[in-house]
Amino acid sequence: MRSTQTTCSAVRESPSAKTARATCRAMLSSRSTFTCPSAGIHIAKNKAINAPAPKICRYLIKRPSPVKFPLFFSRNFTNIGHRNATCKRLGTGETQMTPEQLGFDSRKLDRARQVLQHHVHTRTTPGAVGLVLRRAGIVTCWAVGHHTYQPNTTPVQINTLYDLASVTKVIATTTLCMLFVDKDRLNLDAPVQFYIPSFTGENKDRVTVRHLLAHCSGLPAHVHLYENQSTTHDIDIRNAMLNAACQHPLIYEPGADTVYSDLGFLTLGKILETIGGHRLDHLVKQHIFEPLKMNDTLYCPPPHLKHRIAPTEDGSDLRDHLVHGEVHDENTAAMGGIASHAGLFSTAHDLSKCLLAWLGTGIFPKQSIPQFTTRANIASNSTWALGWDTVSPGESSSGRYFSDKSFGILGFTGTSVWGDPIRDLGIILLTNRVHPTRENNQIAQLRPEFHDAISEALIE
């Protein structure tokens, strides 16, 4: 960790002021300040090490264990090959907890970090952040590897920003749909034409909002809408591309099949903007990110955040340069970086806030969550709920242990989010596996291995 501040996590078991002072010294070995908010202590490194016992060490000895602190990082945080933070309840001033207190075997859990490290060494991805949570809080968060494979490149930190790709579909679009449904502003069974009269063509009068969310609308998976478009981010280009997505003909009858469709979600985005009266980025910030305090989740990250962002592909169909700090998806890039199927950048910690809310611990309407996370059962053999996917029979990216009530989503750039309400488990994995090229598909092995290693560390 490159931060110059640490929070003391020494607890009552220190038998003497001398021992407590030694503990503080060890924890301060690579930091420049000592902060103990509950005691009102904030002292420079050398002064903290030599501070009198009554002010620091005796306070720690007398304080009931465990000590409560508001910061996210614990004394187990290290910076030798990986960056690891553990364990905290979300909110302010909560008790730091061990993995064992949250139902995990620490030794077995470290196997998941080793899986990440192995896949960095074998070039599945230059780096990764993995986060494990339960409803009680974050169990652990690892950061391994670097932003790229170049020498002397930036090490990944737990606050590294990743291009979420299709994880945008649930964090932004699906979540906003659920909130609008709860407020009776959106009807899942209303025809799309009710909200977008120009959504016309053969059988398109039969397509409902529910069809779009469940990827069974009849719209194709992907169309290169960006072709013949510039990247000047003109608002007219964005509107033209949204209209083109909505006007595309169906390739099968609504509800008869399942095709994972970016065009379906672009259509959903236009519906949400019509209902909300604002562009999508303003709507999700107002209704989702600000209430959840997701301060590191955004479209179109500004230049001053570029050093925190993991690059994606080195060139693409639309660009001949390293894609860094701009969205990887070509259609979204041509639309100015703001779309309902891709475009968000975020951190693992921010995503944990949204996932916890979907697991029923936050501000989301609990009565509305199940209809979005339960299989829609519209098209036969489909695993899709509304916006979220569910565990596939046989092989699943979630591994072998997630329950049939689980829900998740994958992003093309190498990102994923999975939640299991039955086993009280959430896992977030962020990588830039498309660097330097999208032709690398080893992420298909990494995902289930990582999820299985975490599940096997649970103390049942």
The answer to whether position 111 is within a domain reads: no
Burial of 3 (C-beta count, 10 Å sphere; 0-12/13-18/19+): middle
Residue 244 CA to residue 198 CA, distance in Å, equals 10
| The pLDDT value given to residue 230 | 55
Q: Which helix (H) or strand (E) holds 431?
A: strand 425-431
* Cα distances (angstroms) measured from residue 290 to each of 171, 238, 283, 394: 13, 25, 10, 39
CATH number, domain containing residue 368: 3.40.710.10
The answer to whether position 322 is within a domain reads: yes
CA nearest neighbour of 292 among 224, 347, 251:
347
The answer to whether position 249 is within a domain reads: yes
Shared domain check, 166 and 51: no
Q: Which of 68, 98, 117 is the last residue of a domain?
A: 68
Residue 72 CA to residue 384 CA, distance in Å, equals 34
Q: Which of 49, 68, 87 is the last residue of a domain?
A: 68
| The pLDDT value given to residue 229 | 63
* 147 touches 127 (CB < 8 A): yes
* 98 touches 133 (CB < 8 A): no
Shared domain check, 339 and 233: yes
Residue 334 CA to residue 123 CA, distance in Å, equals 30
Q: What is the DSSP string of 44-72?
A: EHHHHHT--TTTTHHHHHHSPSSPB---S
Q: Which two tokens stand for residue 290?
A: 């600000």
181: Cβ contacts below 8 Å, ≥ 6 apart: 187, 188, 368
| The pLDDT value given to residue 392 | 93
Residue 24 CA to residue 157 CA, distance in Å, equals 24
Residue 372 CA to residue 287 CA, distance in Å, equals 18
Averaged in consecutive runs of 10 residues, what is the pLDDT profile of the chain (460 residues)?
36 40 44 36 37 38 33 31 52 67 97 98 99 97 98 97 99 99 98 97 98 99 82 73 94 98 98 98 99 98 98 86 96 96 99 98 95 97 98 94 98 99 99 97 98 96
Structural domains counted in the chain: 2
Q: What is the pTM of this model?
A: 0.82
Shared domain check, 281 and 404: yes
The answer to whether position 151 is within a domain reads: no
3-state secondary structure of 270: helix
Residue 331 CA to residue 223 CA, distance in Å, equals 9
Shared domain check, 380 and 238: yes
Sheet-wide strand order for 137-145: 82-85, 137-145, 127-134, 425-431, 415-420, 407-411
* 87 touches 138 (CB < 8 A): yes
DSSP annotation of 289 = I
Residues linked to residue 96 through DSSP beta bridges, in sequence order:
88
State the residue range of the domain holding 367: 162-455
| The pLDDT value given to residue 29 | 40
The answer to whether position 139 is within a domain reads: no
434: Cβ contacts below 8 Å, ≥ 6 apart: 312, 313, 328, 412, 413, 414, 440
The answer to whether position 13 is within a domain reads: yes
Q: Which of 43, 68, 93 is the last residue of a domain?
A: 68
404: Cβ contacts below 8 Å, ≥ 6 apart: 390, 391
DSSP annotation of 170 = I
Shared domain check, 318 and 180: yes
The answer to whether position 101 is within a domain reads: no
The alpha-carbon radius of gyration of the chain (Å, integer) is 23
Residue 10 CA to residue 294 CA, distance in Å, equals 30
CA nearest neighbour of 386 among 210, 166, 169, 172:
210
> Could you check whether the bond before residue 254 is cis, i.e. omega within 30 degrees of 0?
no
The answer to whether position 252 is within a domain reads: yes
Residue for token pair 């008869």: 256
Q: Which two tokens stand for residue 268?
A: 């959903």
Shared domain check, 345 and 222: yes
* Cα distances (angstroms) measured from residue 17 to each of 23, 48, 57, 76, 217: 10, 13, 5, 21, 68
- The CA-to-CA distance between both ends of the chain, in Å, stands at 32
Residue 26 CA to residue 20 CA, distance in Å, equals 10
